[in-house]
Amino acid sequence: MEGPLLRPLPLWRQRSGGLAMHQAPQHRPVLVEQVADLFQPIESGWIIDATFGGGGHTRRLRDELAPDVRFLALDRDPEAEARAAMLGPRIRFVNSDFRHLGEVAEEAELDAITGVLFDLGLSSLQLDDATRGFSFRRSGPLDMRMGAGSLTADAVVNEWDEPDLRRIIARYGEERFAGRITRAIVAARPITDTASLAEIVRAAIPAATRRRGGHPARRTFQAIRIAVNDELAALAEGLDAALDLVQAGGRIVVISYHSLEDRIVKRRLVSASSSPEAPPLPVSTPAVAPDFRLLFRKPMTADEAEVAENPRARSAKMRAVERVSSRADV
């Protein structure tokens, strides 16, 4: 589990000595109406917001759901704790990676878990804070840690062997110029900040393709961030824990932002909602019903109006399941 980050406060908070909520940078929650609708049938128990971030989804659920519903908010970023504290006594916060959801829920002694929400990736608060090192548009240190992990982007960029670096840029960035980019990074070592890294990546990509598909460094930054935070393994473990924890009638809702995440989410949720394979004939056993049902088959996406207001929503895909078996049967 992650402890406090030994890192100075971001500059906007040092200068202001703490800003009022209306002045502070905000994170706009994605698909918030649809998330509220999906949790609407839940009338009691605990909903775990596994990715509290700016608290936009939890705030909406707190306001819309019955007063008996309480919330356990998790985030691996310790800066989320102060925002959770502003949402009042129905919300408890734990600074943890959601891969430890099982242990966290056990320690918190939650009686009934009736919902789990994952809204994956980074918040705008993290992306817009140059000191965190996530942005290819603002210069900052090569950090990219969401929480208190020991691996930094600096180590990945300046110390990893060329084949390892190429492998993650190709796999986690789905970057077809991974070879050229890796060679350029290795030749430019040591690289000291995100602006230099973004420029090295931009220059390594053939000029004709630089203007297509967003900023040329976007995929490489995504790849390094996924590696630094071990995001895909954490997602698989967090989903398994959620599937294990939620009680009958409880719902799990997941919003992902790129195909690597969505593939893991789809595979886990579809498999939990399918009957286990029948043994080969001639052994005949009664069919085993699945523990979950998919609430809809195709992922929900944001409409044009939401995307126009919040470009982060463009790539969002939401999937959801409901437990149909009682946990005691599992």
By the criterion CB under 6 A, which residues form the site for ligand SAM?
Answer: 27, 29, 51, 53-57, 74-77, 80, 97-99, 119, 121-123, 146, 234
**Shorter beta-carbon distance to ligand SAM: residue 173 or 290:** 173
Residue 113: CB minimum distance to ligand SAM, A: 16
The residues facing 92 across adjacent strands are: 72
Residue 97: CB minimum distance to ligand SAM, A: 4
Residue 27: CB minimum distance to ligand SAM, A: 4
**Shorter beta-carbon distance to ligand SAM: residue 81 or 199:** 81
Q: What is the DSSP string of 134-174?
A: --SSS--BS---SSS-S--HHHHHHHS-HHHHHHHHHHHH-
Rounded to whole angstroms, the Cα distance separating 257 from 310 reads 13
Residue 136: CB minimum distance to ligand SAM, A: 18
Rounded to whole angstroms, the Cα distance separating 153 from 21 reads 31
**Shorter beta-carbon distance to ligand SAM: residue 76 or 323:** 76
Residue 284: CB minimum distance to ligand SAM, A: 43
Residue 313, both tokens: 């929503």
- Phi, psi of 289, deg, nearest 5: -75, 145
**Shorter beta-carbon distance to ligand SAM: residue 173 or 238:** 238
**Shorter beta-carbon distance to ligand SAM: residue 165 or 242:** 242
- Phi, psi of 251, deg, nearest 5: -125, 145
Sheet hosting strand 45-49, strand order edge to edge:
91-95, 69-75, 45-49, 113-119, 251-256, 317-323, 292-294
Q: Which amino acid is at 278?
A: A
**Shorter beta-carbon distance to ligand SAM: residue 78 or 179:** 78
**Shorter beta-carbon distance to ligand SAM: residue 48 or 185:** 48
**Shorter beta-carbon distance to ligand SAM: residue 98 or 292:** 98
State whether residue 293 is helix, strand or coil: strand
CA distances from 170 to 142, 182, 202 (A): 20, 10, 16
Residue 234: CB minimum distance to ligand SAM, A: 4
Residue 10, both tokens: 């971001």
Residue 139: CB minimum distance to ligand SAM, A: 21
Residue 320, both tokens: 């959801």
User: Is the distance from CB of 221 to CB of 249 less than 8 angstroms?
Assistant: no
Using Cβ positions, the residue closest to ligand SAM within the complex turns out to be 53
User: Is the distance from CB of 263 to CB of 130 less than 8 angstroms?
Assistant: no
For residue 275, how many C-alpha atoms fall within 13 Å in the half-sphere facing its CB? 8
Residue 75: CB minimum distance to ligand SAM, A: 5
Dihedral over alpha carbons 187, 189, 192, 197 (to 10 degrees)? 30
